[in-house]
A and B are shown apart, each in its own frame.
Chain A
Amino acid sequence: MSYLYIYDNFLSAKKYQSSLYKIENRLVDLGIKGKVVRLNVLKNMNEVVEDGIKADITTVVVIGDDLSFSKIINIIAKKDLVLGIIPVNNKSKFAKILGVPPAHQACEILAQRIIKEVDLGMVGHYYFIDSATITNEETTVKFGSYNASPSSKQNIVSFNNLNVLSELNIDNKFNPTDGQLELVIQNTDVLLTKNKSTTILPFTKVSVECQQPGAFIVIDQITKLKPPTTVQIAPNKLKVIVGAQRMF
């Protein structure tokens, strides 16, 4: 079993040095050290993983934040690799969902190596782990036998696998192992009656159309794609190392 550790760009800042030393020492203690690559303007994640595959790595561990983890999803999903994450602080929502504690404490979880297969969502050919969102009142979502569309202005139309990154005002956390995604449509200016203004429709595949020419879908708060497009589930697409405190 060989590990590739990818440090995201922003970790080159001095304030992360002591935290990174602790992580590196703990990995050595646990006997799971591996090749370390620090990303910079000249080295992107995709190239690093491709090089790792040539060197027979089996597990890619990303050290960073939620945006770092979301970036790696699209690279890992197409390969037969296991993903591990080490969040550098306790703000990572993905880490909480996966039951991974912050900084050097995450090394214990990596060493225990509990691997779960989780679903991913797909917008066109682009994978997402959390959600894809459109803020547009002229959106139509076409299911097999019916269509759903917001009937008033200022609606968020969100396709969810987890729902930790989106700006939706709902308590639901969706299950990323249930083989389906959830469409959530919520009126942004109705906070007091959130339950009555929130639509939740489970699906496996839909097509999305927008009447407004400038509309786009924001994927995991990183990438933007233009409709029309399809949104569908990619079941059990990602192998990820999780902790016992995971939320699914």
Chain B
Amino acid sequence: MFKEENPAKDIKTADTVIGASVKVEGDFNSDHDIIIEGSVSGNVKTKNNLKIGKNSKVKAEISAKNAFIAGTVTGNVVVQDKLHVTSDAEIKGNITASLIMVELGAKLNGQCRITPTPEALNNNSLPKKE
């Protein structure tokens, strides 16, 4: 079983929130958690967690520690630890992460690459082999 412990999924509030009625263009860098519910084009980079909401549209190269994606993303997604792609998500680009969970119905158009970190290998959150 895949043990669900993606911190990005449970973000309720964050220092940085891009709401549904806002458009952001350019290179967006942060050291903190980011929630995106609106539209972003350019690059999105955070050293922490990233949550992309259901109706958001992101055309950007994405880099984050953990990510939870429920919206539309056009661009490559590089996640250091855990990536959760929901059934509503649509990703046009390559995804890279240590642990990836993709829900039934998610649309992925790109390459998928798993890069386990030493921390990920040491904990028990990896799927067990039958």
- A124 close to chain B: CB less than 8 A: no
Q: A151 is contacted by which of B15, B28, B39 (Cβ under 8 Å)?
A: B39
Q: Closest CB-CB distance, B74 to chain A, in whole Å?
A: 17
Give the complex CA separation of A199 and B20 in angstroms: 8
Are A151 and B22 within 8 A (Cβ)? Answer: yes
| Per-residue B-contact encoding for A138-172, CB less than 8 Å = 1, 0 else | 00000101111111100100000000000000000
Q: B19 is contacted by which of A143, A147, A198 (Cβ under 8 Å)?
A: A198
Give the complex CA separation of A199 and B27 in angstroms: 17
Interface size in chain A (residues, C-beta < 8 A): 22
- Stretch among A51-59, A184-192, A204-212 lining the B interface: A184-192
Give the complex CA separation of A200 and B39 in angstroms: 14
Are A147 and B24 within 8 A (Cβ)? Answer: yes
Are B23 and A185 within 8 A (Cβ)? Answer: no
- B108 close to chain A: CB less than 8 A: no
Interface residues of A, dominant DSSP: strand
Inside 8 A of B29's CB, which chain A residues have their CB?
A: 145
Q: Closest CB-CB distance, A161 to chain B, in whole Å?
A: 15
Inside 8 A of B37's CB, which chain A residues have their CB?
A: 196-197
Give the complex CA separation of A193 and B22 in angstroms: 14
Give the complex CA separation of A187 and B22 in angstroms: 9
Are B18 and A199 within 8 A (Cβ)? Answer: yes
A146/B22 contact (C-beta < 8 A), A199-B38, A200-B15 known? no
Inside 8 A of B28's CB, which chain A residues have their CB?
A: 145-146
Inside 8 A of B15's CB, which chain A residues have their CB?
A: 200, 202
Q: B17 is contacted by which of A143, A146, A199 (Cβ under 8 Å)?
A: A199
Which A residues are within 8 Å of any B CB, using their own CB? 143, 145-152, 155, 185-187, 190, 193, 196-202
Which B residues are within 8 Å of any A CB, using their own CB? 14-29, 37-39, 42, 53
23 pairs of residues in contact across A and B, judged by CB atoms under 8 Å: A143-B26, A145-B28, A146-B25, A147-B25, A148-B18, A148-B23, A149-B23, A151-B21, A151-B23, A152-B21, A155-B21, A185-B19, A185-B21, A185-B22, A190-B20, A193-B20, A196-B37, A196-B53, A198-B19, A200-B14, A201-B16, A201-B17, A202-B15
Q: Which 5 A-B pairs have the closest CB atoms?
A: A146-B26, A199-B19, A145-B27, A187-B21, A151-B23
